[in-house]
Structures are given as C-alpha cells and as structure tokens.
C-alpha cells in the first residue's frame, strides 16, 4: 500500500506541476510513454542482474538490484499514470477520443498487470532481505523477471497500437461540422 500511495502522491504532484506550466492542455504524451518504455527496459535489466547475482550467492548486489527494480517500477507507474492523465486531458473532442479508447483501455489493463508484477517484486525483495533465496532456491526471482519481461513485450505491442491510433486521428479542423 505504501508503494501505491507514494506513486499516486508523486503523480498528483506531477499533474499539478504540469497544470501550472501548461495550463489546461498538458503536453503531448509521447515523452511520458517513451520514458515509461525506457524505465521498463531498465527494470528488466535490473531483474536479470538480480537473477545472476542470486545464482552465484552474491546477496548484497542481489538485494540492491531488486530494490532498484522496485524504484524503477514505481517510476514506470508514475510515468504511465501521468501519460494517461495527459491523454484524458487532451481528449476534448468525442471523435478524437473515440479512436483512442481501445488503446487507452489496453494501457490501463497493462498498468494494472504491471502493478501486480511490482507487488511480486516487492514480495521477493522482502523475502530476499530475510535470506530466503540462494543458488538452489531462486524460482521466485526468476518468475518475477519473466513476468516483467512478458509485460515488457506486451507494452511494446500496446505502444505500437497506440502509435497507430494516434497517427490515424484526423485533424479536427478538417472534419465537417454536424
């Protein structure tokens, strides 16, 4: 719950900061989704490092890699929530948001699944701090890493769909008035 509270609090502060800078229309959300993609890849790398460290009984770097993965995961959730807020803030025309609704739903579903994965990583970190993993028993760490990788693959597909959804939206100025 602490992780969820911190990520929501940071996101709300970021949204307020964005409102002060850009007013009622936040920036294009592509940078936020790009940042979240980079964070997802960095978290994946940290989990792979954690798997490698636990296999050779290098406990301290193993725990630090897990902690970095948790912090990176929190950053990913913050970037995603901010990007979704930007999307909702920019959808001032019904036809404009109508084309993006499916992509939006996939991003929300991915975010929920990712938050579950983040909770798994926190669970593994807590067990790692209690010396529960070693070279013989590291299945939980490997499972978390593969779950994160699978969500990364899903994100690449969703981001591709999102790019297509945004590239096919006509300019509102060229649409006829009804």
Distance in angstroms between the alpha carbons of the first and the last residue of the chain: 48
N residues, the chain: 178
pLDDT digits (tens, 9 = 90+) for 121-162: 999 999 999 999 988 999 999 999 999 999 999 988 887 777
Give the gyration radius of the chain's Cα atoms: 19
d(CA 38, CA 131): 31
pTM of the model: 0.81
Domains of the chain by start residue, with CATH? 2-168 (1.20.120.80)
Neighbours of 146 (CB within 10 A): 12
In the DSSP assignment, the letter for residue 175 is S
Cβ(117)–Cβ(151) below 8 Å: yes
pLDDT digits (tens, 9 = 90+) for 62-79: 999 999 999 999 999 888
């Amino acid at each position: 719950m602490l992780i969820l509270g911190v990520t929501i609090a940071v996101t709300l502060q970021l949204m307020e900061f964005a409102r002060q800078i850009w007013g009622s229309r936040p920036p294009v959300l592509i940078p936020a989704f790009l940042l979240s993609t980079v964070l997802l890849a960095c978290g994946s790398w940290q989990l792979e490092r954690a798997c490698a460290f636990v296999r050779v009984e290098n406990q301290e770097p193993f725990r630090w890699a897990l902690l970095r993965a948790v912090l990176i995961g929190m950053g990913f959730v913050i970037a995603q929530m901010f990007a979704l807020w930007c999307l909702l803030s920019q959808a001032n025309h019904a036809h404009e948001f109508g084309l993006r609704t499916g992509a939006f739903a996939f991003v929300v579903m991915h975010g929920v699944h990712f938050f579950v994965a983040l909770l798994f990583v926190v669970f593994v970190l807590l067990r790692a701090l209690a010396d529960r993993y070693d070279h013989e028993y590291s299945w939980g760490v490997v499972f978390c890493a593969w779950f994160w990788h699978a969500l990364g693959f899903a994100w690449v597909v969703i981001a591709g769909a999102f790019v297509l959804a945004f590239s096919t939206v006509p300019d509102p100025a060229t649409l006829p008035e009804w």
